Amino acid sequence: MRVLPPSRRAIVSTTVSALDQMIHKLSGRSALTGEDKEAILSLPHTIRSYHAATYVVREGEPPPNHCSFIRSGFAVRQKITAQGARQIMSLHLVGDFIDLEHLFLNIADHNVQALTELEVVAIDRRALESLVLARPNIARALWIDALVDASIYREWVTNVGRRAAPARIAHVLCEVALRMQAAGVSTNGGFELPLTQEQLADAVGLTPVHVNRTLKALVADGILHRDKRYISFTDWNRTKEVADFNALYLHLEQAKPA
């Protein structure tokens, strides 16, 4: 059973404050005072669920009156070309904010789509904005979050622009592996890739067919193991080398308070 059935998750969500998750995430980025935490806990918010494949944000739309972060499930940011090609430009998992840009930009420039069943905590935008503008620690934490997102986009430009198919695919797998571990979604034994091969293709700028063949080649070369969508690496160093992967850009160390 790869994805928890909706019911298993739904039970928890209403009792434990969803905002504790936010406090946990942010305090990993900047030390928060008791007041900061109280301020966060009193943020007006609701919990929203989306089915897999649903659009959470649509390109061209004005910002809704809330900003969301993921409580459970996976989402992607993507755009669709005039010729109908889709490009995924980032993956998001538990604890990630998926539309911080709505805080200050007045129109959505890309789509955000649920990859699996998805639960988000939707925080009142005005309230979050004043928190950010009034509380330095919270501001710093959210800045870091946004800056790390930007760093990941830069790496993806490089990945898609300058790496050959095997490295390109391996690189995304490395990133997912590390981020899932960091978020506590997987152990270091391996992880369940929340993407179909077609979606993976859209993330690396290749064709599904070619992704399939390249994955097979990576397995044949002993770079990775695969059981359906469950991925594990034989030799992390070797994989990193093939992927030309350097975790620097994820700024995981930055997760320590300043």
- Burial (CB count within 10 angstroms: exposed 0-12, middle 13-18, buried 19+), residue 29: buried
Measured from the CB atom, is 226 or 240 closer to DNA? 226
Tell me: does residue 124 bind DNA (CB under 7 A): no
| Residues whose CB is less than 8 angstroms from the CB of residue 154 and which lie 6 or more positions away in sequence, other chains included | 249
Question: How far does CA 229 lie from the centroid of its chain?
Answer: 18
Measured from the CB atom, is 18 or 144 closer to a copy of itself? 144
Amino acid at 108: A
Tell me: does residue 236 bind a copy of itself (CB under 8 A): no
Query: What angle (nearest 5°) sits at the alpha carbon of residue 84, between those of residues 176 and 81?
Result: 70
Amino acid at 220: A
Cβ contact 137:31 at 8 Å? yes
Residue from 114, 165, 203, 250 that binds DNA (CB under 7 A)? 165
Tell me: does residue 208 bind DNA (CB under 7 A): yes
Q: Is 70 helix (H, G, I), strand (E, B) or coil?
A: strand
Query: Which of the listed partners (DNA, a copy of itself, none) does 23 bind, with a CB threshold of 5 to 8 Å by partner kind?
Result: none
Residue from 134, 209, 248, 258 that binds DNA (CB under 7 A)? 209
The site that binds DNA (CB under 7 A) totals a number of residues, namely: 19
Measured from the CB atom, is 63 or 208 closer to DNA? 208
Q: Which DSSP string do the residues of 198-242 spell out, in sequence order?
A: HHHHHHHTS-HHHHHHHHHHHHHTTSEEEETTEEEES-HHHHHHH
Measured from the CB atom, is 126 or 213 closer to DNA? 213
Tell me: does residue 151 bind a copy of itself (CB under 8 A): yes
Residues of this chain that interact with DNA (CB under 7 A) are: 164-166, 196-198, 205-210, 212-216, 226, 229
Residues of this chain that interact with a copy of itself (CB under 8 A) are: 59-60, 77, 79, 81-83, 85-87, 89-90, 100-101, 103-107, 109-110, 132-134, 136, 139-140, 143-144, 146-151, 153-158, 160-163, 204-205, 241, 244, 248-249, 251, 253-254, 258
